[in-house]
């Protein structure tokens, strides 16, 4: 008999109308790292070819301390949610991008602040948005940023999705700003 698939991270989808009234509180009370989003603007094409709204539904991702099987993950979800099955999350960043429909421009787009995080759940937002040095380079030049403090102040206020990348590449970014000031400004 084949071993059951194990994963640290599992997710499920459920219609909001099938959830108890206090479903948000119940998710938070699990004290498991995770996140959820309500998709309330999704559409589908009906049999007549018309675009019609889908029923509001939640996508929820829950992370466990060690790999567990689907049955254990399903048992952690309140039975009142009526969730029939869970799926393993193969890639947390990819799953997070899906919650936003980031790679599906034909679907309703959701903002990052519409995702609710639970119990210290973390995902590198720079990875979610594929931030790299080319993006930082463009921003520094476009905004004529002349020092690292100015850059960080700008990012914290206006581009928080860049902060993780820049924080992980401080020497590269500082050197670029210093050299840019020395030779170009």
Over the stretch 37-52, which tens digit does the pLDDT of each residue have?
999 999 999 999 999 9
Under a CB-based contact definition with an 8 Å cutoff, are residues 91 and 6 in contact?
Answer: no
Q: What is the pLDDT of residues 107-159, one digit of tens each?
A: 999 988 899 999 999 887 766 677 888 888 898 999 899 999 999 999 988 88
Residue 182 confidence (pLDDT) above 80: yes
121, 36 contact by CB (below 8 A): no
Per-residue pLDDT tens digits for 60-74:
999 999 999 999 999
Rounded-to-integer distance, Cα 73 and Cα 76, Å: 5
DSSP assignments along 46-102, one per residue: -TTS-EEEPPPEEEEEEEEEEEEEHHHHHHHS-GGG-----EE-S-HHHHHHHHHTT
pLDDT at 126 (0 to 100): 67
pLDDT of residue 32 exceeding 80: yes
Average pLDDT over residues 13-41: 96
Q: Is the pLDDT of residue 181 over 90?
A: no
Rounded to whole angstroms, how far apart are CA atoms 103 and 96?
Answer: 11
């Amino acid at each position: 008999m084949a071993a059951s698939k194990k994963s640290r991270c599992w997710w499920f989808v459920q219609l909001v109308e099938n959830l108890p009234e206090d479903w948000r509180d119940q998710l938070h009370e699990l004290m498991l790292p995770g996140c959820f989003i309500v998709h309330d603007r999704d559409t589908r094409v009906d049999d007549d070819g018309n675009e019609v709204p889908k029923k509001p539904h939640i996508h929820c991702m829950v992370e466990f301390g060690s790999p567990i099987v689907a049955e254990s993950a399903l048992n952690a979800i309140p039975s009142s949610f009526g969730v029939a099955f869970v799926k393993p999350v193969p890639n947390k960043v990819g799953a997070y991008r899906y919650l936003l429909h980031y790679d599906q421009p034909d679907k309703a787009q959701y903002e990052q602040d519409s995702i609710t995080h639970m119990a210290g759940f973390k995902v590198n937002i720079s990875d979610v948005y594929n931030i790299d040095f080319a993006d930082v380079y463009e921003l520094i030049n476009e905004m004529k940023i002349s020092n690292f403090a100015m850059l960080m102040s700008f990012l914290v206020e206006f581009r928080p999705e860049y902060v993780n990348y820049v924080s992980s590449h401080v020497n590269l970014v500082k050197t670029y700003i210093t050299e840019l000031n020395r030779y170009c400004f």
